[in-house]
Amino acid sequence: MEPVTSATPTPDLRVRIGGLTLRNPVCTASGTFGYGREFASLVDLNRLGAIIVKGISLLPRPGNPPPRIFETACGMLNAIGLENVGVERFISEKLPWLRQVTTPVIVNILGDSIDDYARLAGRLATVEGISALEVNISCPNVKKGGVAFGTVPEMAAAVTTAVRQATALPVIVKLSPNVTDITVIARAVADAGADGLSLINTLLGMAIDVRTRRPRLANVVGGLSGPAIKPVALRMVWQVAKVVSIPVIGIGGITTSEDALEFLVAGATAIQVGTANFYQPTATEEIVDGLTAYLQERELTSIGQVIGSLQVD
Amino acid sequence: MSEFQEKSPVLTREQLTADVVRLTLHCPRIAAAAKPGQFVMVRAGETLDPLLRRPFSIHKVTAEGGLAVLFKVIGKGTRLLATAAPGSSLDVIGPLGRGFYPDKTGPHCLIGGGMGIAPLYFLAHQLLAAGSSHANPPVLLGAQTQAELMLLAQEFTELGYPVLTATDDGSLGHQGFVTDLLDALLTEVRQVYVCGPLPMMRTVAAKCRGAGVACQVSLETHMACGLGACLGCTFPASSGGYRHVCKDGPVFSAEEVAWSR
């Protein structure tokens, strides 16, 4: 008897973002996966494409008062308020454990001013164990009256330039969907030197308790995430991927490999799993398996054959 | 600390009242690791609505790998879970969080209100198994009506604990708050363990502080992950800032909670 061997070789799932090669396109979205360790007993972290950790600011932030989250139809609202341990404690307390994981670690950074972003990027530039930066530009610019960096093309570009100049690491900029035309912001950020774009961050929303006539979140408004936003995210990824030449990372309600494939077909080079980590911690691994099976069933050898393959008549 | 995700067959489904259900699930790894006061996250159904898992304190565990949760139907998730039939399976993650610190140095008092009674049964069971030899004052149990309390009170009695009850409508025991029953007992105890509605726990915490008695409270909030990742389950801490119910708790010293904020 001949040993039974697989008819199709294992397909190549590797993708590139700037100078960084990921073993597969499946990443964890910032703010939904803690600092990785929180999921270590449920998920094989070494099977992921990249771990994008909870957003880090220069100083620790306590976050917003409760209630901070509320479930909505096929989604959830959150107003966590960017609670985090700050860059120094991240480096001393969180990063050492992550260095034993073979998966690239991408650090999400956030600030109140362009100078904050530059200082964060500079501080992280030479720290061992960081493969790239993801810049959250959905935060308010304190010096410009609290307007979110990500809603004004010039401000988004200025943040990108400042981070670009402060580090040699690949720079990914995470775009807010709460804009009239996301392609304008995307182009401004790409022209300013970003190596990749990730989109979308949460959609601004709210919910009300009609018995008390009070908002469900103490912050009144919050970010909507989960499967409810997937069609919006997919549309924006498709629009942006058409107009920029840098890789796009798709985010928004991805739970299954079919969801992930939609984003890849629409033009995303990689994807991030966010809210699904909460209700299905193994979603990322299941998506990796599902992508492999999809390619094998079609006798495709590389995920590159799927990316941007949308057929429009 | 390690948590597990198990596809857990429903062993039994008990309807305690029109809207209170107890499910016993077979999740041997979670049950074996569970400590009183810890909780599990249970997926309600397999569709995306309801989306998030629901947190439940661990009510009982058995040597055969059974784990019971006790809940009232209050929304979409619990309504769906209440229909889980024996033979079907639920997706369970646990055990999660930090449970009660069992103080065996003196007499203790357990106070449960409504579904907050659930984790106290597991705790009572463990305190007895650990050979807590002190003559303990009664367990205090409160609920809206007799129907909700009958079986649970009987089970504490069968464990060997005296039980005092309070109901809103006076259908069983004292009519009024279960916290009314605490005053007479405070001089006899070293440690109070309480779980129930927030106003009830606030009252118990205040009474314990007044009497110089240690008090552990088990808090409940909305939770998205239960793993310390979403940072959604915060409450204000007495030391300033916030604590997270899922990782720092759900059991806290009453002194850690900023009750007035």
CATH number of the CATH domain containing B41: 2.40.30.10
Interchain CB contact of B245 with A (< 8 Å): no
pLDDT above 70: residue A62: yes
Cα nearest neighbour of A62 on chain B = B241
Asked whether residue B92 falls in the same domain as residue B157, the answer is no
- The per-residue pLDDT for B104 is 78
B33 to chain A, any CB pair closer than 8 A? The answer is: no
Which DSSP string do the residues of B235-249 spell out, in sequence order?
Answer: EEBTTSSEEETTTT-
Position A8 confidence tier, pLDDT thresholds 50, 70, 90:
low
Measured CA angle at A71 (ends A65, A75), to 5 deg:
120
Residue B260: pLDDT above 90? no
Of B61, B76, B96, which one is at a domain's C-terminal end?
A: B96
Alpha-carbon distance B145 to B10, whole Å? 27
The alpha-carbon gap from A295 to the nearest alpha carbon of chain B, in Å, equals 26
Torsion of CA A187, A192, A195, A200, to 10 degrees: -50
CB of B21 within 8 Å of a chain A CB? The answer is no
Q: Cα(B53)–Cα(B55) distance, rounded to whole angstroms?
A: 7
Predicted complex ipTM: 0.94
How far A278 CA sits from the closest chain B CA (Å)?
A: 4
Q: Which domain holds residue B20?
A: 4-96
In tens, the pLDDT along B204-254 reads 999 999 999 999 999 999 999 999 999 999 999 999 899 999 999 999 999
Residues B73, B154 within the same domain: no
The verdict on B48 touching A (C-beta cutoff 8 Å) is: yes
Residue A2 has pLDDT above 70, yes or no: no
- Amino acid symbol at A131: S
Nearest to A83 among B50, B231, B235 (CB): B231
- Residue pair B27/B92 in contact (Cβ under 8 Å)? The answer is yes
Let me know: does B119 contact B128? Beta carbons within 8 Å.
Answer: no
Residues B182 and B221 in one domain: yes
Rounded to whole angstroms, the Cα distance separating A171 from B136 reads 62
Looking at the complex, report in whole angstroms how far the Cα of residue B227 sits from the nearest Cα belonging to chain A. Answer: 6
CATH number at residue B156: 3.40.50.80
Query: Is residue A7 pLDDT above 90, yes or no?
Result: no
B128 with B47, same domain: the answer is: no
> How big is the A-B interface in CB pairs under 8 Å?
100
Q: B242 and B175: one domain?
A: yes
Per-residue pLDDT at B107 exceeds 90: no
What pLDDT, on a 0 to 100 scale, did the predictor assign at position A245? 97
Question: Taking a C-beta distance cutoff of 8 angstroms, is the pair B244, B218 a contact?
Answer: no
B102 inside domain: no
User: For this structure, is A27 an active site residue?
Assistant: no
Interface contact flag, A279 B228, Cβ < 8 Å: no
Probe site for chain A from B1, B231, B233 (most A CB atoms < 10 A): B231
| Whether residue B145 is found in the same domain as residue B197 | yes
Domain final residue, candidates B96, B120, B138:
B96
Residues of A in CB contact (< 8 Å) with B are: 31-34, 38-39, 41-42, 54, 62-63, 65-71, 73-76, 78, 80, 83, 226-227, 255, 275, 277-282
What stretch of H or E contains A204?
Answer: strand A203-206
The verdict on a CB contact (< 8 Å) between B242 and A279 is no
In this structure, the answer to whether residues B120 and B240 fall within a common structural domain is: yes
**Taking every pair of C-alpha atoms in chain A, what is the biggest distance, in angstroms?**
75
Give whole-number Cα distances, A290 to A29, A252, A297, in Å: 19, 18, 10
Give domain status of residue B177, yes or no. Answer: yes
Least CB-CB distance to A68: which of B48, B53, B232?
A: B232
Tell me whether residue B31 is in a domain: yes
Handedness of CA B166, B167, B171, B174 (dihedral sign): positive
Give the residue carrying structure tokens 């409810």: A228
Beta-carbon separation of A33 and B229 below 8 A: yes
The total of other beta-carbon atoms located within 10 Å of residue A145's CB is 7
Check CB contact under 8 Å for A282 and B232: no
B238 and B112 in a common domain? yes
Based on the fold, state whether residues B85 and B20 are members of the same structural domain: yes
**Residue B248: inside a domain, yes or no?**
yes
Residue B103 lies in a domain: no
Total tally of structural domains belonging to chain B:
2
Instruction: Answer yes or no: do B82 and B168 share one domain.
Output: no
How far is the C-alpha of A76 from the C-alpha of A69, rounded, in Å? Answer: 7
Q: How confident is the model at residue B2 (pLDDT cuts 50, 70, 90)?
A: confident
Please check whether residues B190 and B233 belong to one and the same domain.
yes
Task: Give B77: exposed, middle or buried? Use CB within 10 Å, 0-12, 13-18, 19+.
Answer: buried
The HSE-up count of residue A173 (CA atoms within 13 Å, CB side) is 36
Same domain, yes or no, for B85 and B132? no
Among residues B75, B96, B117, the one where a domain terminates is: B96
DSSP-assigned states of every residue in B123-144 = HHHHHHHTT--S-PPPEEEEES
* B69 in a structural domain: yes
Chain-centre distance for alpha carbon B188 = 23
Question: Model's pTM, two decimal places?
Answer: 0.94
Q: Is residue B204 part of a domain?
A: yes
Q: What is the pLDDT of residues A199-248, one digit of tens each?
A: 999 999 999 999 999 999 999 999 999 999 999 999 999 999 999 999 99
The verdict on residue B194 lying in a domain is yes
Q: Identify the CA nearest to B35 among candidates B118, B98, B90, B103.
A: B98
